[in-house]
Amino acid sequence: MNYSLNEYLQYIVTDSTCVEVYSDNDMAAKLLAQHKNNNDYILSLSECISDNTYLLPTPSELIIEIDEKIHALNRRVVVIGIDGYLLLVSRQSRNAFMVALQLRIDEQKLNAAYMISKSNFDKKQFSNPKYENSLQIVNITENGKPVLPPTVRLVSQKWVENKSYCRNWIELLDMLGNFESGDNFEHIDITLALSDFTLSQAGLSEGIVQYTDVKRIAEHFYEIKADLPQSTIESLLIKSKSAKLHPKLFLKKQFGEININSIFALKRLKEMPNDDLWIAYVWMLKNEIDNTSYMSKVLSENLNCDNILRVYISDYPLMVFGDINSIKYAKERADAIKELNGQGESFIVEFIENANSYTNDVVACWLNCGTKAEKQEIVRRVSMSDLTTGLSCLWQGLYPMLDDYLSMEYDFGIKELNDYFDDYRKFKLKNTVTEDFVKSAGDFLLPPLIQKRDVLLSEMPTDEKSAILVVDGMGVEYIPAIFAVASRREINIKSIHIAEANLPTETDFNKIGDKTIKINRLPPAKLIDDIVHDGAVKHEHCTPEQNIVAVFDALEGVLIRVVKALMQYDRVILTADHGASRLAIIAYENDLAKINEEIKNPLDWRYARASKGMVCPDGFEEKRDLERQCVYWIIRGYNRLSKQGAPKNELHGGASLEERLVPIIVFSKVFTDTIIKKRSKPSEQLIEEVEFSF
């Protein structure tokens, strides 16, 4: 039969062995309070379990321990916590516990009451009416909330760290069977973290989720759904637990918050080659950085520390050639590569080789890191394009010095010189020349307005606040580039002069000493002339694009020296001993230049001592050298004299415009209002012509 609590109170004082079956936890709390009022001893099941065991005791082990405790107390004992235990064990273990309990009820040797909830009590073992009639089984019911089974997750302390988790079976049973706290006994969700838990334990309830697979642990306890190697996840959980950080926060801290973006991530990944969490950082980045970025796309590939640079720099660009976001991707890639401080240059070379067959319109935007290899590839591709209307917009901005070299902004002051050097620079880049230009180079007579370099230098300021820098081999072909760079970088130019070097155009005939100008002298710059003679790399065959890029780099170095010198001096005069001609080589290689066999034993391919009894031949200029008491014949165009071992890169010594015309550029520390003449734009020229016609 069923009793209310009030009805049962008249029978509660007894020394019989009985089971008190309650309807819900609220009823259990009231019943327990009454037993305390009666001064009964409350024995929690957890007191019967060793605190150093990681295995839950079997029913037979537990019931014997309970018996011993009851006997030792020698008073009325109320056993609680049975519900928690029964909820944790398998059906077979629950049945075994009920059989053992029935034996104790039948024997009536223990002064004890066992409190069990209605939902956990197995009535089949006590179906005989005698149990209820003798109050050995007492059903105490009132309307209330039913006891809901807890959700228990079992995991090793090796993987998790949380103060709210139970650390052993005793703590868990105390939580499940503690009716004194006045809790509102709702459905309980508990994690039990055991120190020695590695394999699933037998005999536990199916309702206990046992986490032994580290991937499941990472997913449930840390929301890490990642296809990572087990060893990586294990290392991550151990290290983050030791650091007392959530694994995701641990990865961010180790990687560095500042590096978790599409620009710095590549460099940081390369800094961690031996980190066993490397692939975990990749996973973290996939989830953290902008998913529209180039880096996000690369991270979707099969990456490791050995191949990431190759994939990022060389391989993946080919996969997004022509993509609507190509320009955006290429800029991001360039910014990231620049952070590598040169580590990625070999892969840029590899990329250039892989992209060789692709057209300029898809490749151009990816050649934007400013490396030597890219500069050379840009020059190579530009050399095969049409430069009739100037540099294509595809290339503008990718190699500023190339833009500057082809600039038509500076005005030489003589239209014929503008036209000549515009064509010269284009032909030089394209590594070709036409028969018409070869003819014009031989026919072009030096305009009479152009003064001698040494005369102009003698008129320059000679105070202690001025200095001169002589660049060996720098002809006026580079004035447009120097002017454009100076304008862009706000380096103040006071004046630019086009001057004539001494003939022959060799350094021995163009030494700029104290007789020419008494002024502070900076160490001469010889690199351009070295490239003219030996190419970009001495004793190696160098391509035209290699040499052009090397000269441009040398020119950059010259301008850096000028800027540094302006920190010490008010004025820096930049000039050269002579220029050089690339087209003289190209014309010869294309059979557009002739070899003069009549003049014997020439001093150089471009000049010789005058032959006695002979008149200066056509196409030559005659120069009398009073100091050497000698007369020289110097070739004006691209023909050459018969001499073995001709240079392969450029020639000087002759009288072509590019060899004999040199710049004199005065840089000033302070701003001057001097206006360097610029060419009018086509529209402005048209307006001027229209106005003139009126």
Query: Which amino acid appears at position 474 of this protein?
Result: M
pLDDT at 178: 52
What confidence score (pLDDT) does residue 255 get?
Answer: 97
Q: Is the pLDDT of residue 691 over 50?
A: no
pTM here is: 0.81
Give CA separation, 582 vs 9, 169, 245, 430, 432, in Å: 117, 89, 66, 11, 10
Task: Kindly report the number of other CB atoms within 10 A of residue 384's CB atom.
Answer: 9
The arithmetic mean of pLDDT across residues 230-253, rounded, is 95
CA angle at 564 for the pair 563 and 570, rounded to the nearest 5°? 75
The Cα–Cα gap between 538 and 541 comes to 8
pLDDT in tens, 86-107: 889 999 999 999 999 999 999 9
Residue 287 has which token pair? 């989830």
- Burial readout 543-566 (b: 16 or more C-beta within 10 A, e: otherwise): ebbbbbbbbbbbbeebbebbeebb
CB 469 within 8 A of CB 561: yes
* Residue 639, number of CB atoms within 10 A of its CB: 23
Determine the average pLDDT of the residues in 373-401: 93
| Residue 308 tokens, joined | 């990431």
- pLDDT tens track for 268-309: 999 999 999 999 999 999 999 999 999 999 999 999 999 999
pLDDT of 83 strictly over 90: no
Residue 582 has pLDDT above 60, yes or no: yes
pLDDT confidence of residue 682: 47
SS3 372: helix
Task: In whole angstroms, give the CA distance from residue 381 to residue 430.
Answer: 9
* pLDDT, mean of residues 199-217: 91
Residue 179 pLDDT level (bands cut at 50, 70, 90) = very low
Find the range with the poorest average confidence among 130-139, 192-201, 539-548.
192-201
Tens digit of pLDDT for each residue in 435-453? 999 999 999 989 889 999 9
Residues of the chain above pLDDT 70, percent: 95
The secondary element (H helix, E strand) that includes residue 575 is strand 571-576
Residue 25 pLDDT level (bands cut at 50, 70, 90): confident
> What pLDDT sits at residue 113?
96
The answer on pLDDT for 50 being more than 90 is no
What gap in Å lies between CA 330 and CA 361, rounded to an integer?
Answer: 13
User: In this predicted structure, what is the pLDDT of residue 685?
Assistant: 42
Compute the distance between CA of residue 585 and CA of residue 638 in angstroms, rounded to an integer. 8
What pLDDT is attached to residue 688? 36
Q: How confident is the model at residue 148 (pLDDT cuts 50, 70, 90)?
A: low
pLDDT digits (tens, 9 = 90+) for 96-144: 999 999 999 999 999 999 999 888 888 888 999 999 999 999 999 866 5
560, two tokens = 């850096």
Yes or no: say if 626 and 619 are a contact pair by the CB < 8 Å rule. Answer: no
pLDDT tens digits, one per residue of 490-537: 999 999 999 999 999 999 999 998 787 888 999 999 999 999 999 999
Checking if the pLDDT of 186 tops 70, the result is no
| Nearest alpha carbon to residue 344 among 381, 301, 373 | 373
User: What are the DSSP E strand ranges found in 281-354?
Assistant: none
Higher pLDDT, 213 or 184: 213
Which tokens is 93 given? 């273990």
Chain segment 663-690, per-residue pLDDT in tens: 999 999 987 776 677 786 544 443 333 3
Report the percent of the chain where pLDDT is more than 90: 73
Separation in Å, CA 157 to CA 89, 162, 213 = 21, 9, 13
Tell me which long-range contacts 278-282 makes (C-beta under 8 A, separation of at least 24): 278/304, 278/305, 279/228, 279/229, 279/232, 279/303, 279/304, 280/226, 280/228, 280/232, 280/233, 280/236, 280/251, 281/251, 281/254, 281/255
Summary mean pLDDT of the chain: 90
Closest listed residue to residue 240, CA positions, set 158, 155, 165:
158
**Residue 430 pLDDT more than 60?**
yes
In this prediction, residue 462 carries a pLDDT of 85
Q: 670 or 374: whose pLDDT is higher?
A: 374
Determine the average pLDDT of the residues in 321-331. Answer: 95
CB-CB contact of 634 with 458 (8 Å): no
**241 with 161: CB under 8 angstroms?**
yes
Euclidean distance between CA atoms 420 and 413, whole angstroms: 12
Average pLDDT (408-429) is 94
CA atoms within 13 A on the CB side of 234: 7
Let me know if 378 is exposed, middle or buried by CB neighbors in 10 A (0-12, 13-18, 19+): buried
Q: Which amino acid is at 297?
A: K
* CA atoms of 523 and 20, how far apart (whole Å): 107
- Compute the distance between CA of residue 287 and CA of residue 306 in angstroms, rounded to an integer: 22
What is the chain's Cα-based Rg? 47
Closest CA relative to residue 482, chosen from 565, 563, 569: 563
| pLDDT at residue 598 greater than cutoff 90 | no
Q: Report the pLDDT averaged over residues 141-161.
A: 78
- Which residue, chain included where needed, has tokens 């065959």? 541
Q: Is the dihedral of CA 509, 515, 517, 519 positive or negative?
A: positive
Which tens digit of pLDDT belongs to each residue from 446-472? Answer: 988 999 999 999 998 888 999 999 999
Task: State the pLDDT at residue 150.
Answer: 72
